Chains A and B, each alone.
Chain A
Amino acid sequence: MKELAGRLTALDPDAGAAVRVIAYFDRLAESRAGLEALVRGAAVLAGVPARLVDAERRVSVRVEADGRRSDSALPPDPAWPSAALTPDGVPALWLERAGAGPSVVDAVILERAAGAVRLVLDRTRGRAPADDPALVETLLDATAPDAARLHAARRLGLDPAVPARVLAPVDGRPRIVATHTDPEPPAERVGVGPAVAVLDLPDSWAAARTALRFTAEGTAQDPGPRVVHAEDLGGIALLAGLVGPGAEPPSDVQTLEAAAAASPWLLATLNAVASTASLRAAATASNVHHSTLQERLVQAEHLLGWPVRTPQGRFRLQLALTMRHLARP
């Protein structure tokens, strides 16, 4: 009789099993059981390990089918049955059942467990940490007392022992992320600061804002990378101090703008040449035939007044394209 709970899924996946699953999680929720108990419930009822991962709230719980807690650093298999905690959220709760078709009982277990988990998380951890502007401002203010800044970090859900980085989006509002989380790829331009100790985040923020100036829309009119990591810039970052935003652009940039005004394909083509390893790759990236590319480059070199197919000329082109972004107001 003792194994009854574990054998639940061995029963026909009929309404009887589903009803018991529902009663089980209702009872857990009623008595305010914790996260581990809920994940254990899913594992025991399903007869396979279950895991809960909510990166934003820093929650990671994995329980074996026999009820033992056993966390894993390996990523969940996308093929496992899973449930999100919010209607259109990412998967957060998995049953580690490989190679199985959809099962009614699994679906009920996931649905009830996820619902109960959501309630516990809202109760015990608050909403997912919103980037409260006042807290972020305190944390990024190097002149504020360390104690106040550490307090702000904790309120933002950051573990002071874990390095973090600042993202600088176009809207100017800093976003702070712990290094062990993967922020979803942004739709807009963003500069990414280096990973640093929590108290050094003002430096990461400054570097992120600089990195943002090197980004581009990634369109034909403004080709270039949407996301730039400060750590990848190296000495190129020094250019940011030489070319001020909105100042009169250097003459090579002015030449580039004039040429671009005459030929709409020019910027994208030159960006392809500057950012790929060979002209063949550049042709592929610009979606033109190799010979077409050669023709266009002859024309571009004529408009610019310097060669772009020599190492020196290519470097000058890269500088011009980069300074064009930096001169943007």
Chain B
Amino acid sequence: MTQVPPPFDPELAAALELIKDVISPGITPDEIDAARQGPGIEMLAGLDLTMDGFFEIEDRAVPGPEGAPEISLLVCRPAAPAEDGPRSVIYHVHGGGLILGNNRFGVDAALAWAKELDAVVVSVEYRLAPENPYPAQIEDVYAGLEWTAKHAAELDADPGRIVLAGSSAGGGLCAALTLLARDRKGPQPIGQLLMCPMLDDRNDTASSHQMAGLGIWDRTANETGWTALLGELRGGADVPAYAAPARAEDLTGLPPAFLDVGSAETFRDEVVTYATRIWQAGGVAELHVWPGGFHGFDGFAPQAALSQVARAAQVGWLRRLLGR
């Protein structure tokens, strides 16, 4: 197995120079607390969620899974009345390796799409590992989806037009959510937008070895995240598909998927494999592997040329899916 990593895209390599003091490739379990206190939170506080007044913002506390605390939904609705009937919903699940983040994390990407497509954004907060191991996350996210589908009318939204979207751990949770919604016969989303999704707890692909110590979220960090979620179970024989969608035996009957990933990141191979398996199961998937992209490059360096192309592909897919 070759250990020579593919080079980063030149602009992205330069962007890594800027953020390397703030984000290191690896996170160990004892660094989780420090990572949660990182400067990212402060910057999120300054984020204009209304997008210059386009959206009205509301934090809704809604029932969590049975016997669990309430969960918080960030609801962002276009302020203008819906012209063409109920709106589509982008149901956003944030990233953060299952161990950090909140429902503001990365929501600006979803807001940018929704502004262009006149959609509602619902961003769900979920309990974090390791304090809350599996299945707290997926059940919180499922409860939020159920509430959204049931209360869509309140939001001037169409429960039959919900698209799941998430990056990294959020992408993995979206993939798991489609499996769970299929199997429980719950609300049926019409698409899943999985950006560099975290899918496979085994953490043993060629790309995970190749990128060790490089970029963002290397295999050390990945092991930290999955172990926080699964403890002793991680990498073993008994990991449920709702925890790690790469473990799913059956990928039939899923809504159309959009998957993207950088060629220079831990998740490259598991994302390519997941897309391939969807096709092999007779499903619909669009896969983009962006050359020289590190994990989450389009979020960390949205100005870079490659990020602009990646973002255009995401919104283009949504536009085709939603027919707008």
- In the complex, A123 has a CB within 8 A of chain B: no
Q: What CA separation (Å) do A68 and B23 show in the bound complex?
A: 26
Give the size of the chain A interface in residues (CB under 8 angstroms): 29
Given contacts A6-B303, A28-B14, A40-B303, contact A1 B38 (CB under 8 A): yes
Give the complex CA separation of A6 and B40 in angstroms: 14
Complex interface bits, B33-56 against A, C-beta within 8 A gives 1, otherwise 0? 000001110010000000000000
Q: A24 to nearest B CB, angstroms? A: 5
| CB of B115 to closest CB in A, whole Å | 15
A127 within 8 A of B: no
A1 touches B40 (CB 8 A): yes
Partner of A67, one of B8, B14, B18, B305: B305
User: B263-314: which have CB < 8 Å to A?
Assistant: 299-305, 307-308
- Given the interface pairs A2-B301, A66-B303, A67-B302, the reply to whether A37 lies near B38 with Cβ below 8 Å is no
C-alpha spacing A212/B26, complex, angstroms? 72
Are A1's CB and B23's CB within 8 A? yes
Q: Which of A3, A20, A32 contacts B43 (CB 8 A)?
A: A3
Hey, which chain A residues are within 8 Å of B17, CB to CB? 20, 23-24, 26-27
Q: Is the CB of B43 within 8 A of A44?
A: no
Is A41 an interface residue, CB under 8 A from the partner?
yes
- Considering the complex, give the chain A residue whose CB is closest to the CB of B296: A2
Count class of interface residues, chain B: 20 to 34
Q: How far is the CB of B168 from the nearest CB of chain A, in Å? A: 13
- Decide if A36 is an interface residue (CB 8 Å cutoff): yes
CB pair A5 B301 closer than 8 Å: yes
CB-defined contacts of B22 to chain A, threshold 8 Å: 1, 4
Option from B7, B11, B38, B299 in Cβ contact (under 8 Å) with A2: B299
Chain A neighbourhood of B18, CB < 8 A: 4-5, 8, 20, 23-24
Q: When A20-B17, A20-B18 are in contact, do A44 and B10 touch as well, CB less than 8 Å?
A: no
* Identity of the chain B residue whose Cβ is nearest the Cβ of A66 in the assembled complex: B303
CA distance in complex: A66, B16 (Å): 17
B322 within 8 Å of A by Cβ?
no
Q: Quick check: is B15 within 8 A (CB to CB) of the other chain? A: yes
Q: In the bound complex, what is the Cα–Cα distance between A269 and B39 (angstroms)? A: 76
**Chain A neighbourhood of B8, CB < 8 A:** 31
| Interface residue SS majority, chain B | helix
Given contacts A2-B300, A67-B302, contact A28 B10 (CB under 8 A): yes
Please judge, given known A-B contacts A4-B22, A23-B17, whether A37 and B10 are in contact too, CB under 8 Å. yes
Check A32/B303 contact, CB under 8 A, given A4-B43, A67-B308: no
CB B306 to nearest CB in A, in angstroms, measures: 10
Cβ of A94 < 8 Å from any Cβ of B? no
A25 within 8 A of B: yes
A7 on the B face (CB < 8 A): yes
* Bound-complex Cα distance A172 to B22 (A): 63
**How far apart are the CA atoms of A67 and B43 in the complex, in Å?**
20
- Encoded as 1 (CB less than 8 Å from any B CB) or 0, chain A from 137 to 176 comes to 0000000000000000000000000000000000000000
- Of all chain A residues, the one with the shortest Cβ separation from B301 is A5
Give the complex CA separation of A8 and B303 in angstroms.
14
Q: Binary interface profile of A, 1-21, with partner B (CB < 8 Å = 1, else 0)?
A: 111111110000000000010
Q: How far is the CB of B106 from chain A (nearest CB, A)?
A: 8
Q: Which of A4, A26, A32, A37 is the one whose CB lies under 8 Å from B19?
A: A4
Interface residue A33 (Cβ < 8 Å from any Cβ of B): yes
Shortest beta-carbon distance from A261 to chain B in Å: 70
With a cutoff of 8 Å between Cβ atoms, the chain A residues found around residue B43 in the complex are 1-4, 7
Q: Is B13 part of the contact surface with A, judged by Cβ < 8 Å?
A: yes
Closest to B21 in A: A20
Q: Which residues of A contact B300 (CB under 8 A)?
A: 1-2, 4
Question: In the docked arrangement, what's the CA distance between A1 and B100, Å?
Answer: 13
Task: Check A33/B11 contact, CB under 8 A, given A3-B43, A8-B18, A23-B17.
Answer: yes
Contact check, A25 vs B301: say whether CB atoms are below 8 A apart.
no
Contact B302 A2 (CB under 8 A): yes
Pick the most buried of B8, B14, B308: most chain A CB atoms within 10 A of its CB.
Answer: B14
Q: Residue B10 contacts which of A6, A31, A67 (CB distance < 8 angstroms)? A: A31
Shortest CB-to-CB span from B43 to chain A, Å, is 6
B19 / chain A contacts, CB cutoff of 8 Å: 1, 4-5
CB-contacts of B90-119 with A (<8 A): 108
Contact A36 B305 (CB under 8 A): yes
Q: How far is the CA of A68 from the CA of B22 in the complex (A)?
A: 25
Closest to B16 in A: A27
Q: From residue B60, how far is it (CB to closest CB) to chain A in Å?
A: 25
Q: Known interface pairs A1-B39, A3-B43. Does A25 touch B14 (Cβ–Cβ under 8 Å)?
A: yes
- Cα A40 to Cα B305 in complex, Å, equals 9
In the complex, A66→B7 CA distance in Å? 24
**Distance between Cα atoms of A37 and B23 in the complex (Å):** 23
Per a CB cutoff under 8 Å, which of A20, A23, A26, A37 touches B11?
A37
Asked whether, in the complex, the Cβ of A68 is within 8 Å of the Cβ of B10, the reply is no
Shortest Cβ distance from residue B37 to the other chain A in the assembled complex, whole angstroms: 13
Docked Cα-Cα span, A314 to B303, in Å, equals: 66
Measured between alpha carbons, how far is A24 from B10 in the docked complex, in Å? 10
Q: Which residues of A contact B (CB under 8 A)?
A: 1-8, 20, 23-28, 30-34, 36-37, 40-41, 43-44, 66-68
A-B contacts, 21 of them at CB < 8 A, read A2-B43, A2-B108, A4-B18, A4-B19, A4-B300, A5-B18, A20-B17, A23-B17, A27-B17, A28-B11, A28-B14, A31-B10, A31-B14, A34-B10, A36-B305, A40-B304, A41-B14, A44-B303, A67-B302, A67-B307, A68-B308
New contact pairs (15) apart from A5-B19, A67-B305, CB-CB < 8 Å: A1-B19, A1-B22, A1-B300, A2-B43, A2-B301, A6-B303, A8-B18, A23-B18, A27-B14, A30-B13, A31-B14, A32-B10, A37-B10, A40-B303, A68-B308
Residues of B that sit less than 8 Å from A by CB: 7-8, 10-11, 13-19, 22-23, 38-40, 43, 108, 299-305, 307-308
Q: Which 7 A-B pairs have the closest CB atoms?
A: A67-B303, A33-B10, A31-B10, A1-B40, A27-B14, A23-B17, A44-B303
